Amino acid sequence: MKIRKITRENFFSSLKEKERPWQEDYLGMYSSQWNGITTDPDLMMVPIDDHLVHRGDGVFDVMRCVRGKIYQLEAHFQRLSRSAKSISLNFPPDFGDIREVIKDLVLVGGERDCLIRVIVSRGPGSFSTNPFDCPSSQIYVVLVRFKGLSEAYYQEGISLITSDIPIKKSFFANIKSCNYLPNVLMKKEAVEAGSLFSVGLDEEGFLAEGSTENIGVLAADGILRFPGFERTLSGITAKRVFELSGELVKQRIIKDVRFARISPDKAYEAKEVFLTGTSLNILPVVRYDDRPIGSGSPGPVYSRLSSLLWEDMTQNQELLTEIDWESK
């Protein structure tokens, strides 16, 4: 036999034979499998017979710790619970408060700006599709150093293409499941087109969402529109930007803000287009399908919303969860 045998004794040394520079950003992981926290990336593993791995049977959510406080923890937690409920996935029975696990992990990770990825999986049990083979669900929480997009994208704007990948039916689009193949293919097609971002269309040809972003369109009529959440994931950032846009309506900077169907043609003629998401906040689109949007550079409404969102993320005490850094 040519392939060597891996044992408990040589397992870690064999892992060290290859460099994994991306692991430098992995700050910590909690697993309900071992009910503990590790900061060693070599230990950040999930069992291959967890149905999460071989069937994508699990749900997740991603939240952000900004300057030492977790932004919108409750909203993310509620969406995670909704996603889990939609696929009849219960949290592990004797599991305590997930918020406490998250806060502990952030403290152990030690970085005030990080992304918190929470996964609830069907758990190990078999290699079948049968969820009843799994005696207990599991929770994994991974903490990754936050590295935002390059500032140039925010200053110059990004280009967007229409995706050819069929989007998920609303039932699946509403669940943040670990089955992200269409989203992966959308990202792949965007990167191959030299664009980084693509947006999917629904069956009737209206804008839906990006690979991991919602989209907002300030049309020529001065109304800011977002595709309704019945066809997309209910983005927590998009929802907040929608709410914050009310301020711009009051100040008569925009006429109104609505959830509505948006055709690509409407977007081509828009004054401004932007994407929203937890890790990118709000990102201006200056080209869509090779047509310039508005003046071809990030517009004033984008700037206003971007400032309002950042203020919210750093100062809105109602939406920020404190971490007791002193106790570290």
Ligand X SMILES: Cc1ncc(COP(=O)(O)O)c(C=O)c1O
Distance of closest approach, residue 71 Cβ to ligand X, in angstroms: 11
| Shortest distance in whole angstroms from residue 61 CB to ligand X | 8
Residue placing its CB nearer to ligand X in the complex, 31 or 214: 214
Asked if 215 contacts 273 with a C-beta cutoff of 8 angstroms, the reply is yes
Instruction: Give the residue with the Cβ less far from ligand X, 134 or 176.
Output: 176
User: How many Å is the Cα radius of gyration of the chain?
Assistant: 21
Is 168 annotated as catalytic? no
β-bridge mates for residue 71, sequence order? 64, 320
Amino acid, res. 84: A
Binding footprint of ligand X on the chain (CB under 6 A):
62, 183, 209, 212-214, 232-233, 235-238, 276-278
Smallest gap from residue 173 Cβ to ligand X (A): 7
AA identity, residue 271: K
Shortest spacing between CB 238 and ligand X, in angstroms: 6
123 or 277, CB closer to ligand X?
A: 277
The one-character DSSP state at 280 is T
Nearer to ligand X, 209 or 294 (CB): 209
Nearest approach, Cβ of residue 230 and ligand X (Å): 13
One-letter amino acid identity for 199? V
Query: Minimum Å distance from CB 246 to ligand X?
Result: 18
Sequence-ordered alpha helix ranges (H) in the chain: 11-15, 51-55, 73-86, 98-109, 151-156, 170-173, 181-192, 236-250, 264-268, 300-315
Q: How far is it, in rounded angstroms, from Cα 269 to Cα 272?
A: 9
Q: Which is nearer to ligand X, 121 or 276 (CB)?
A: 276
Which string of b and e fits 259-280 if b means at least 16 CB within 10 Å?
A: ebebebebbeebbbbbbbbbbb
Q: Rounded to an integer, what distance in angstroms lies between the CA atom of residue 232 and that of residue 79?
A: 13
Lookup: tokens for 175: 């669940």
Phi first, then psi, for residue 4 (nearest 5°) are -70, 160
Rank residues 138 and 237 by Cβ distance to ligand X and give the closer one. 237
Determine whether 163 is exposed, middle or buried from the number of CB atoms within 10 Å of its CB (0-12, 13-18, 19+).
buried
DSSP conformational letter for 15: H
Nearest residue to 195 via CA among 247, 251, 157: 157
| Residues in a beta bridge with 160 | 197, 288
The least CB distance from residue 277 to ligand X, in Å, is: 4
Name which of 60 and 125 has its Cβ closer to ligand X.
Answer: 60
| Residue from 69, 103, 168, 176 carrying the catalytic annotation | 176
**211: nearest Cα among 78, 28, 192:** 192
**Active centre residues (catalytic):** 176
